[in-house]
């Protein structure tokens, strides 16, 4: 259907923006999080197949230096986890990944090197 095609296009663009680390990446990261959150909240069935990849890509937004990006990434993450839970998408590997990343960011051995954005992002997880 046309709606499914639009959703697919927007999700592909959001995934590209989340994986891009070029000069425009910072400008696109917030928009990508808004798109992912909105589609996950309103079109769960259409986003379910993208959940495993989106969960991995959202980490860069969760540790973004800008507060509004981190907060929107947390909203997107919450929406994706809700869809994953409702649809039975296997996310155990992502939980392990996120927990390990959060622990490494928050560990005392790294505390002198971690910026506040990364620490806040780890706590949002």
22 secondary structure, DSSP code? S
Please determine, for residue 60, whether its predicted confidence score (pLDDT) is greater than 90. Answer: no
pTM as predicted = 0.80
Q: How many CA atoms lie within 13 A of 90 on its CB side?
A: 1
**29-54 confidence digits (pLDDT tens):** 999 999 999 999 987 778 888 888 88
**67-98 confidence digits (pLDDT tens):** 999 899 999 988 988 888 887 777 677 777 77
- The C-alpha atoms of residue 29 and residue 2 are separated, in whole angstroms, by 26
Please determine, for residue 111, whether its predicted confidence score (pLDDT) is greater than 60. Answer: no
């Amino acid at each position: 259907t046309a709606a499914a095609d639009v959703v697919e296009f927007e999700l592909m663009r959001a995934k590209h923006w989340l994986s891009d680390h070029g000069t425009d990446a910072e400008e696109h990261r917030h928009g990508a999080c808004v798109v992912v959150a909105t589609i996950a909240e309103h079109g769960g069935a259409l986003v379910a197949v993208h959940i495993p990849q989106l969960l991995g890509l959202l980490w860069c937004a969760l540790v973004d230096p800008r507060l509004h990006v981190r907060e929107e990434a947390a909203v997107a993450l919450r929406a994706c986890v809700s869809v994953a839970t409702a649809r039975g998408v296997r996310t155990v590997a992502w939980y392990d990944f996120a927990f390990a990343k959060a622990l490494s960011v928050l560990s005392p051995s790294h505390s002198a090197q971690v910026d506040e954005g990364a620490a806040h992002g780890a706590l949002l997880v």
